Chains A and B, each alone.
Chain A
Amino acid sequence: MAQKKEMKGREFTMGNVRIIEVKQSIFEDNNQDAERLRAQLKEEKTFLLNLMSSPGSGKTSTLLQLASRMKDKVKMGVMEADIDSAVDAETMQKAGISSIQIHTGGMCHLDADMTRQGINEFHTKDMDFVVLENVGNLVCPAEFDTGACMNMTILSVPEGHDKPLKYPLMYQVCDLLVINKIDVMDYFDFDKDKVVEYAKMRNPKMDIIFVSAKTGEGMDELAQYLLDKIKAWNEN
């Protein structure tokens, strides 16, 4: 029981009261759960994408655009996490994409254990590509590793190009940034170069793709990017 020994730490005794030195990050248990889930996904050859953004940035409409381009090439599914309701899952099912709704029961994010429960419930074993649509929020979902293979964040033009400055952690953990609603760029004071500069400041390795879920612009590029990532995950 190596784990048990490790958790014991140093001990000081005063009568019946003992002080146990722990020095363990609060996220440690979750990080371990996340690593275990990633190993399971690797084994089952399923690519899990954690999709995060603020509410109303176009997560669901982006997924619908992607689904029409990808569903003939990979077997895909969507897990919708919300505090309540099944609106998004119903939208997905109408578009012919299998989906499951996960309720977080009032919590503002999904953790690795909730994700694992969703994965097992959803029987994703036979799927190549599963999208976890996280709760619309730029703070908490960034703190908890869900066990996904990649983090994708959507930032929509009306939200402003300074979002990466305001929510540092979200952009630090983001592997792929999708800038949505570029069809309305002319109506907003949105600086394309600035958003790239600010985002790269948080994570220099981040990839950035500009799209419009309304007109479909950039969606072919995004779909191809994800197909390449899925292929790489399943090969290595």
Chain B
Amino acid sequence: MHEMGIAFHIAESVTKIAEANQAEKVCSVVLEIGEASGVIPEYLMDVWTWNSENNPLLEGSELKVERIRAVTLCKDCSKTYDTISHGSVCPFCGSRNTAMIAGKEFNIKEIIVE
């Protein structure tokens, strides 16, 4: 249950940020999660809800996830392609000389507080 540890980390960071901004309550937290980050948003939301019950600042808050498409750049033919369908081999020229340019994001984008 990989999402559990991650949810604890998010809760810790959000609590710090909310306290630094003198917030009384966190309404929602918006995350940016890349398709290739290895996290399943549904699991993360379940753990978030359960974990928030023990934290007055976070109780009842909503976790929103914005997915970011995974894109890889081929360094040989300079084209970009969908990472999830083709992995590390370029579908245009067959090269393995590729680098993922988006899709690993795992950020707290913003939090909405009262």
Chain A residues within 8 Å of B, Cβ to Cβ? 4, 7-9, 11, 16-30, 106-109, 111, 139-140, 143-144, 168-169, 201
Contacts and interface: CB of A to CB of B under 8 A. Distances in A.
Interface residues of B, number: 29
Given A4-B20, A8-B21, A143-B38, A22 B9 contact: no
Contacts of B23: 18, 20
A26 B96 CA distance: 30
B9 A29 contact: yes
A20 B4 contact: no
Given A106-B1, A201-B96, A18 B10 contact: no
Q: Name the 9 nearest CB pairs between A and B, nearest first.
A: A22-B108, A7-B20, A140-B2, A107-B5, A4-B20, A26-B106, A21-B110, A16-B114, A7-B17
Given A23-B109, A169-B38, 11 more contacts: A7-B16, A7-B17, A7-B21, A17-B114, A21-B109, A25-B106, A25-B108, A26-B9, A27-B106, A29-B16, A30-B9
Contacts of B102: none
Interface string B39-58: 00000000000000000000
A139 B114 contact: no
Contact of A24 (B4, B13, B38, B96): B13
